[in-house]
Structure 1
């Protein structure tokens, strides 16, 4: 793997407005031989990525060193799935560093059929901070805890679980007690819409074990907090709407399901997307899968393309870094064996990028 700083041209799509205020081109930070999942950058500048489970990586999480070397994170022992220790990392996608230097890893446990969990590693003390398990009824049959948003203002974490159909939901974790709750299950704001993802004109399909071919419909996946931790923004991956709800309402255990649902607001249009991130001025960055682009929803709630490139092949996730850049990864997920009848059609390298955002963001998100 190499670290690079090559610029990529900005390409305009005639059918979609492109924001005029792009401040920098897309830069290639690193080329990887294995597909990343999600990314976070710590306050000390370490780049940490999960490795995407659909490519069956040997490690779950790695640190991308400046030299280009990939080091198991936090170390090799924690990435040993054969150890038999339930706390060890099995299948991590969601990952986020907090201002205290802890890296929160969301382990869905799907490869080892383990109970999903949150693992927090203190990078400054180089030690385990805590493990929080997410057993039933917090998770359900088909749960795929995917991404997370860390709220240290109120000491909570919010998790997206795009479980199939009307089982999709959010999970609210109280870090003070370790108690978790499943909320908004089956709500319109978390359930996939009947919309088809096509990339380069090719519809995304999946072959089931019985040989039937289906078009995936994935529920809540994009999830992010605003700079004040006042609002949580989220929506189904396969969906055309972005929603938001006050974090105070998510934390209110007295609200009935219908009352909480009534407080969810439709915020804006969005494309089919994976990860999102929000800067301190409220601009929402979007991984636009079909357009091979990074887009943005600005303060007027309009979606616009920000930057596009053929190298943005399945842009998956973002993180703001301490250097003022917004980091992003592209992992060619549409070419994974799961979507190609068992054939891995991806071609390395896979990329870590960075670009100057429209406004500063919170490091790690």
Structure 2
């Protein structure tokens, strides 16, 4: 009889909130009233609606099915392929539309940041981008807000390009003026020495024609401190965490070359997709190589709070008013593009949560 061998220790109490048997989700956001919103980018799955709300455990297109039907005659008022949603805590759901189905070049004029009024469930504002901000290689990934600066606040968006320069896109919400910062900087670029390993295997692009290439994705995860003064960010193809004072990144008198000297390196936190900050300034991030969730304290120390085999690619995080940390788990690494055209994902995908007893970082005073 063979002896029982020691096995890996798993921990962290995660609860299932919702199972997805259709398209693969990437984003989640929980509003100040507890409403849960999900997005499904058009990456090849059959996506009926790219933004949804979970209502009584069912997915409903949000804010309407009509808005979710990409309209080539009115692309600014219809969703094309949404990568991220963010409830700002003051009655607005922000929708980040890549306008890049299947991660192709963004449809001209289609990339946008959309404000949806949660009381009326209607679009209240649309911000589009010029061609020097959204490049042919741009992939708008995630967004954070601070309404305490400027006349109407600022938004910070990661460009997670896999074919061009990464960057942080800064948007003045008062007038819609947007500009790229840290364009192609080391801190927003893939780590050239990074070799991701997920489920014990090297993750790389493996095409149907048997050709391969490294997994290289630029700045992706983003989070902001509770006072709005510090922006955290990380490339997807990296284990490193960086931050920069928001006052510096908004200051266009500082050249991009000089701006790099204002970036702080926090060390290795693991390879992360999404990130989020709580009201005490703790950053929560996934570690997709190790099926884990980690938190980074303001003093730089780190702690793993969940580690279990079911955390198969922790994507986006959100903190709800119920003081739970919500996370989308979507098996992103099992997509066909990484396995010679064979889709290895197993449904359902999941929305999980765990109690952290903390509220989300505020976006306003």
TM-score, normalized by the shorter chain, greater than 0.5: yes
Would you say 1:33 and 2:21 are equivalent positions?
yes
Structure 1 contact 239–270 (Cα < 8 Å) conserved: no
Structure 1 contact 297–303 (Cα < 8 Å) conserved: yes
Cα deviation 1:290-340 (Å, max 9, x = unaligned): 111111112331333110222211110111111111111101111122222
Between 209-218 and 243-252, report the one with greater CA deviation. 209-218
Stretches of structure 1 lacking an aligned partner (at least 5 in a row): 1-10
Describe how 1:325-340 pairs up with structure 2 within 5 A.
Answer: 325-340=324-339
Partners of 1:210 and 1:344 in 2: how far apart? 15
Question: Displacement of 1:114 after TM fit?
Answer: 4.1
Structure 2 contact 133–180 (Cα < 8 Å) conserved: yes
Describe how 1:1-365 pairs up with structure 2 within 5 A.
Answer: 12=9, 25-34=13-22, 35-56=24-45, 57-65=47-55, 67-82=56-71, 84-87=73-76, 88-111=78-101, 113-115=107-109, 116-154=111-149, 155-164=153-162, 167-194=165-192, 195-208=194-207, 211-357=210-356, 359-362=358-361
Question: Displacement of 1:267 after TM fit?
Answer: 2.2
Question: Displacement of 1:124 after TM fit?
Answer: 1.1
Higher relative contact order (CA 8 A, sep 6+): 1
User: 1:77 aligns to what SS in structure 2?
Assistant: coil
Partners of 1:276 and 1:243 in 2: how far apart? 12
Partners of 1:43 and 1:363 in 2: how far apart? 10
- Number of aligned residues: 345
Give the CA RMSD over aligned residues.
Answer: 2.1
Structure 2 contact 321–359 (Cα < 8 Å) conserved: no
User: 2:186 aligns to what SS in structure 1?
Assistant: coil
Partners of 1:241 and 1:288 in 2: how far apart? 11
Question: Displacement of 1:211 after TM fit?
Answer: 4.6
Q: 4+ runs of 1 displaced by more than 4 Å?
A: 208-211
Cα deviation 1:189-227 (Å, max 9, x = unaligned): 101002111211122222357652112111110101011
TM-score, normalised by the number of residues in structure 1: 0.89
Structure 2 contact 208–340 (Cα < 8 Å) conserved: no
Partners of 2:86 and 2:60 in 1: how far apart? 17
Question: Displacement of 1:125 after TM fit?
Answer: 2.3
Structure 1 contact 168–190 (Cα < 8 Å) conserved: yes
CA 1:221–1:272: 2 relative to 1, 3 Å:
same
TM-score, normalised by the number of residues in structure 2: 0.89
Instruction: Look up the match of 1:5.
Output: none
Structure 1 contact 191–236 (Cα < 8 Å) conserved: yes
CA 1:114–1:62: 2 relative to 1, 3 Å:
farther
